[in-house]
Amino acid sequence: MRTVDSDGNVDTAWGRLRRDAGTLKRIAGMVFVYATAGAKIRRRYHAKLASGGTYWVDEPDENEFDENPPAKNEPDKNEPDTNELDPNEPDT
Amino acid sequence: MRPYQPPAPEYAFGYRRPPRLGNEINGLGVADKVRATPVFHRHGETTDWQALDDFFSFINPWSVVVNMVRNTWQLRRSDGPVAGTRREVDDATAMAAEVKAIAKQAGAALVGITRITEEDLYVGREMPYEYAVCIGLDMVYEEMAFAPQKRAAVEVMRAYREISKTAIRVAEAIRAMGWPAKAYGNPNVTDILHIPLAQRAGLGQLGKHGSMISKEHGSNFRLAAVLTNLPMALDAPVDIGVDDLCSSCTRCVIDCPADAIVNEKRMVRGENKWYVDFDKCVPYFVKTYGCAICIEVCPWSEPGHGPDLMEHLLRKRAQRRTA
């Protein structure tokens, strides 16, 4: 049984510092995975999208590039964004 | 009219070994009252649909991810130290009014209070809190008109980030009174079912498209909650005529590219209610970074239209009864 109460002691300054450090670590992990593994997945997915293939979400290692991938990923007609990582993109 | 035509429900992704049907996990056709099981959008635990959820996270545009990251960072303050001196509550009605005023001042468009029941929690959760302060925040309609494009997805995550801020402020104010309180503002990390709570708190009613409809904002809003033990007067559910509209309106049914919305209520975990076919909806949801077509085409979502629509629907109902 998982309680919905706090996962850690946040009553002390030290406890809150540990919580903040843990959150920062989690965020850094999220961004790192999005930028590395995520970039690979996005590239492979867009290659499948352009070639008419299927990206298998439950077997990511089997999603090799097509033999003749397009020179440039062709985005969806209605979606101009390629979804590549762009840290300079303005928020909202 | 939407700026773009929605893409076709054709997918360049899928499961080689499909998981258990989401509708089955959701309890579609189950006549017994049972607690909900997480299907999608979980953090810290694996669900049957985890692979698609992960894929969804990875294909989301950076501008959406930025909002998620910022929300995660601010929500570290969802819980915190409780003041040593507890303010006793003699008048629960006055306390409810005070908390609602704090929420409104912190940016909430809608606020209501209800008691938490077991059915409001996902299976496997325990609840140390008694009350939920349910909060709604409207989204920018002009941005949401871009659904199901990236621009609308960014607006959705911006709204979640803003409503989290409001929930955190309310939770902090309650903790400053000496009562424990925890803010819930991240759609991906939640232990509670926001919609049943918000319905009982009087924020609106469930629509045919599986989302809440409020009198003021239709479905063009997002939910968050603050869970606490601070005694407050409870709100009552409202009847604004949503069933009257949804039983005859087919706008979301027609406009849903995935055909996930139907005209009849379904039995779901012991309750006959509007239900969206998860297994049809979620691939399109993933493909389009959160879709949201159904909530934006809902006639109730048009700004300023809701109060008149409610009045009209309730008047017609009264006329039918007297005829």
Question: What's the N-to-C CA distance of chain A in angstroms?
Answer: 38
**Across chain A, what does the average pLDDT equal?**
75
Cα B311 from chain centre: 24
Contacts 24+ apart (CB under 8 A), B35-42: B35/B118, B35/B119, B35/B121, B35/B122, B35/B123, B35/B269, B36/B119, B36/B122, B36/B123, B36/B193, B36/B269, B37/B122, B37/B123, B38/B122, B38/B123, B39/B278, B40/B278, B40/B282, B41/B187, B41/B188, B41/B190, B42/B188, B42/B189
3-state secondary structure of B118: helix
Helices (H) and strands (E) in chain B, counts: 12, 10
Tell me if B182 and A23 make a contact (CB, 8 A cut-off): no
Q: How confident is the model at residue B44 (pLDDT cuts 50, 70, 90)?
A: low
Distance CA B96, CA B78 (A): 20
pLDDT of residue A85: 45
pLDDT of residue A63: 75
Residue B266 amino acid letter: R
Q: Is A66 left (phi over 0), alpha (psi -120 to 50) or beta?
A: beta
CB B191 within 8 A of CB B122: yes
pLDDT of residue B4: 66
Residue A56 sits at the chain B interface (C-beta within 8 Å): yes
Which residue is it, tokens 């409207």? B138
Distance CA B209, CA B292 (A): 10
pLDDT of residue B323: 84
- For B230-285, the pLDDT digits (tens) are 999 999 999 999 999 999 999 999 999 999 999 999 999 999 999 999 999 999 99
Distance CA B262, CA B274 (A): 8
Residue B31 has pLDDT above 60, yes or no: yes
CB B108 within 8 A of CB B137: yes
Distance CA A81, CA A49 (A): 14
Tell me if B62 and A53 make a contact (CB, 8 A cut-off): no
pLDDT of residue B281: 97
Q: What is the pTM of this model?
A: 0.90
Distance CA B186, CA A73 (A): 32
Considering just the CA atoms, what is the radius of gyration of chain A in Å?
19
Tell me if B62 and A77 make a contact (CB, 8 A cut-off): no
Which residue is it, tokens 């903790």? B175
Tell me if B6 and A78 make a contact (CB, 8 A cut-off): yes
Distance from CA of B85 to the nearest CA of A (A): 14
**Across chain B, what does the average pLDDT equal?**
95
Q: How confident is the model at residue A4 (pLDDT cuts 50, 70, 90)?
A: low
Residue A67 sits at the chain B interface (C-beta within 8 Å): no
Tell me if A20 and B82 make a contact (CB, 8 A cut-off): no
Helices B50-59 and B278-287, axial angle in degrees (round to 10): 30
3-state secondary structure of B205: strand
Q: Which residues pair with B110 in a beta bridge?
A: B136
The first and second tokens of residue A19, run together, are 């919580």
- For B70-90, the pLDDT digits (tens) are 999 999 999 999 999 999 999
Residue B14 has pLDDT above 90, yes or no: yes
DSSP states along A49-90: HHHT--EETT-GGG-PPPSS--SSPPPPTT--------TTSP
Residue A88 sits at the chain B interface (C-beta within 8 Å): no
Residue A19 sits at the chain B interface (C-beta within 8 Å): yes
pLDDT of residue A91: 43
Residues A29-39, mean pLDDT to the nearest whole number: 96
Residue A69 has pLDDT above 80, yes or no: no
Residue A92 has pLDDT above 50, yes or no: no
Considering just the CA atoms, what is the radius of gyration of chain B in Å?
20
- For B294-307, the pLDDT digits (tens) are 999 999 999 999 99
Q: How confident is the model at residue A83 (pLDDT cuts 50, 70, 90)?
A: very low
pLDDT of residue B183: 95
Q: What is the dihedral of CA B246, B250, B254, B260, to 10 degrees?
A: 30
Closest CA to B165 of B230, B93, B222: B222
Residues B176-202, mean pLDDT to the nearest whole number: 91
Q: Which residue of B has its CA nearest to A59?
A: B16
